[in-house]
Chain A
Amino acid sequence: MSLITERSKISPFMVFYIIMSMQIGVGVLGFQRIIAQTAGHDAWISVLVAGAGGHLILALMYWILQKANGDFIHLHHQLFGRWLGNVLLLALTIYFASMSFVVLRTYIEVIQVWMFPDLRTWEFALAFLLLCLYITRNGFRVVVGVCFFCLIIPFYLLFTFGSVLEYTNFRQLLPVLDHPLPSILKAAKEMTLTMLGYETILLFYPFLKNGQQSSKWGHAALLSTTLFYTLLTVLTLAYFSEKQLQRQVWATLTMWKMVEMPFIERFEYIGIANWLLVILPNVCLGLWCSSRLCTHIFPIQQKYALLVITCICFAAIIAVQDRTGVNTINEVISKVGFYFLYAWIPFLAILTYVRTKRRDAQ
């Protein structure tokens, strides 16, 4: 375990900002259609179910981290040995890197469809990734600072949804629980991509002063995100009629089309531009996590690992060319994320449990 100096550690309450800003990403712009497809007007229940599932998994993560003395990487080596452990960690590296890549590519698509059709993917990706490189190479504390500001600054966007209230009809949410339980659970599963982000705790945990104390802040962040998503889902379901919602690729952005202000004709442009701040911590933290993993697998310094990963991300972003490609990468990362959280983490917990039992017995 490499030693982390006290100087580069952060206070436990910062976990709140990290997790929340990591969770809120591009998914928010259009998750409503996907969950309403199976759960209809009960989709908001699915969001709550997904949130509850998240709390469970987060609690499991904290338990594993406690048993592993806070070192998730070392745990893999202990449980699976050097070689297999490295293979698994490499998979994890790819997972975190691809999270950055998916978020950025999806955001670029939004810009291309809504604002600048002639924006070249590589131009924006290059500029954005350079910014991320600049932030991330200065270490974890700087990344956390970005997380903090990128949650606080776009916070005002929440109030803009007030202007759609005039056109909402909350009776559309009735009758509650009109859909069978399996479809509600299926929609909760579809929520995974939008909920993803709190698993980064596994890697930045060693950077916390009093790691276990941060658990309440982690749960608070998860709860806030869940409530925010529930609120947004309820508003969306009350605003659109069911079949109309199915036609909206980015329901959140379409809702902004109703915002009218005397000084701005199309508010969604402001919203999309501001969303850059929302996805900035997503990409930065994803890059940071994967580069940190790299240093434990290969004999390489973090800043060089970062450079390599960023270049790979850049290449991957250019390779995805159209809407279908973007949809595919979103679906894939959503699936991988789901199995990582709901299969891999419980599996690790069981292994950890068995190991501690055996050690106690000895």
Chain B
Amino acid sequence: MKRTALLWIALVAALLSGCLRKEILDDISIESAIGLDDAGASKIRGTVLIPIYKKEETTNKTLTSVSISVNDLLEELQHQASEPLVNGSIEILLYGKRLAEKGIFPFVDHFHRDASIGTGLYLAVVDGTAERLLKGHYGRQGNAIYLSNLLKHNIEQRDIPKTNLHLFLKAYYADGQDPFLPYIRRAGKNVYIQGIALFRGDRVVDYIQRNDLFFFKILTDAYTEGTHTLRIDHNLYISIKNIATSRNISFSGSQTQPHVHIHLSLEGVVREYKPTPFSPSIRPLIERQFEKEIKKKTSELIKRFQQQQIDPIGIGEWAKSHYRRFRYRDFYRRYRDLPVHVTADVRIRDTGIIE
């Protein structure tokens, strides 16, 4: 008798627990990308991309609305959607240039707070408006996959430093580092990576152009497979593919008068050499030349960061783990005039399958 009663209670409890809201994949619209643009008067114009899976290829549907906050915007968009919009599978967040220059943090917070959103998704700044970029049609797998793949392979194998929501927030909250995001642009039927947008706090203040990306990546990220073409003479070019990089930032002097020393060492292979055949005897020459170029370009970049009072490399964080009782404020007060010395060490490992 008692056992039956217990069984009944268990049954009722089990049934009641089953009464939660379900989200069946066929009955929801999954947002795969969100673009946010400035709409004046502290309002934002949001575009949500929903992939529609068909037999042949994935087509894109966009919904646009204007509102005051991201959450409000997504609520607003629910009115336009025939199926509930869910945001558990967002691949990429895009911010229009004008919004990015005004500050994006208020519009990142929502995605940070939402338990259903991963931290591995990409963020990017768009030259122009995010809306226009999302309304294009790229690739067969849908725009969101296209864009995230575009960034993914450039991060993993080329010259874009590692970036995602987690790293953006990590740099944003860190006192000794400023965030940066990829800077992309739509050109007709294509999207290309134009460079890197550099932030001070949550506002974009500067952009790094494409030809400086290689040097930016070796400064900020430990590993890159980027290729750089070096001009040795007026007609002599060599392409070197980077295999392994290591960077070390060391400090000398007291905490009040630090000297920064950045050492970059690269290991590369020759990819292309023209117009004469490559001879092993000129290898040291090329190595020295490349070292000189790295020193010059990276020093220029660092000077630029110092003038802008930004620290995308995170020199402050390196300094913090070097000095005891470190104080960021004192460090950044002198940041503009900080003596930074760059040295490089290049080693060309092989020359491809021909010599």
* Residues on A facing B (Cβ under 8 Å): 113-116, 118-120, 123-124, 126-127, 130, 134, 167, 171-175, 178, 240-244, 247, 254, 257-258, 260, 265-266, 268
Contact = CB atoms under 8 A, between A and B. Distances in A.
Nearest to B170: A241
B321 A172 contact: yes
Nearest to A115: B115
Contact of A172 (B14, B16, B175, B317): B317
Contacts of B119: 254, 257-258
A242 B174 contact: yes
Interface string B164-176: 0011011111110
Interface string B156-193: 00000010001101111111010000000000000000
Contacts of B20: 116, 118-119
A171 B173 contact: no
Contacts of A266: 88, 116, 118
B173 A241 contact: yes
B354 interface: no
With a 10 A CB-CB cut-off, give which of B16, B162, B171, B323 has the most chain A CB atoms: B16
A175 B14 CA distance: 52
Contacts of A126: 9, 13, 16
* Secondary structure of the B contact surface, majority rule: loop
A247 B321 contact: no
Contacts of B324: 175, 178
B6 interface: yes
A183 B131 CA distance: 50
A123 B115 CA distance: 22
Contacts of B9: 126, 130
Contact of A258 (B17, B116, B166, B322): B166
B318 interface: yes
B174 A265 contact: no
A241 B174 contact: yes
Given A172-B317, A241-B174, 9 more contacts: A123-B17, A241-B317, A243-B174, A244-B170, A244-B172, A247-B173, A258-B118, A266-B88, A266-B116
A240 B119 CA distance: 12
Contacts of A257: 117-120, 166
Contacts of A174: 321-322
26 contacts: A116-B20, A118-B20, A126-B13, A127-B10, A127-B13, A127-B14, A130-B9, A167-B162, A167-B167, A171-B317, A173-B321, A174-B321, A175-B321, A175-B322, A175-B324, A241-B173, A241-B177, A244-B170, A254-B119, A257-B118, A257-B119, A257-B166, A258-B120, A258-B166, A260-B120, A265-B118
Interface in B308-329: 317-318, 321-326
Given A127-B14, A175-B324, A178-B324, A113 B170 contact: no
Contacts of B6: 130, 134
Contact of A241 (B21, B88, B171, B322): B171
Contacts of B166: 167, 257-258
A167 B317 CA distance: 15
B71 interface: no
A172 B175 CA distance: 13
B115 A265 contact: no
A268 B321 CA distance: 31
B20 to A, nearest CB: 5
B115 A114 contact: yes
B63 to A, nearest CB: 22
B307 interface: no
Contacts of B88: 265-266
A118 B18 CA distance: 11
Contacts of B167: 167
Contacts of A116: 20-21
Nearest to B318: A171
B156 to A, nearest CB: 11
The list of the 7 closest CB pairs from A to B, nearest first, reads: A241-B174, A244-B173, A174-B321, A243-B173, A127-B13, A257-B119, A114-B115
Nearest to A116: B20
Contacts of B174: 241-244
Interface in B90-142: 115-120
A250 to B, nearest CB: 9
B310 to A, nearest CB: 16
A272 to B, nearest CB: 10
A175 B320 CA distance: 8
B175 A243 contact: yes
A36 B17 CA distance: 37
B105 to A, nearest CB: 12
A240 B120 CA distance: 14
A183 to B, nearest CB: 13
B89 interface: yes
Contacts of B326: 178
A226 B175 CA distance: 31
B332 to A, nearest CB: 15
A236 to B, nearest CB: 12
Contacts of A124: 17
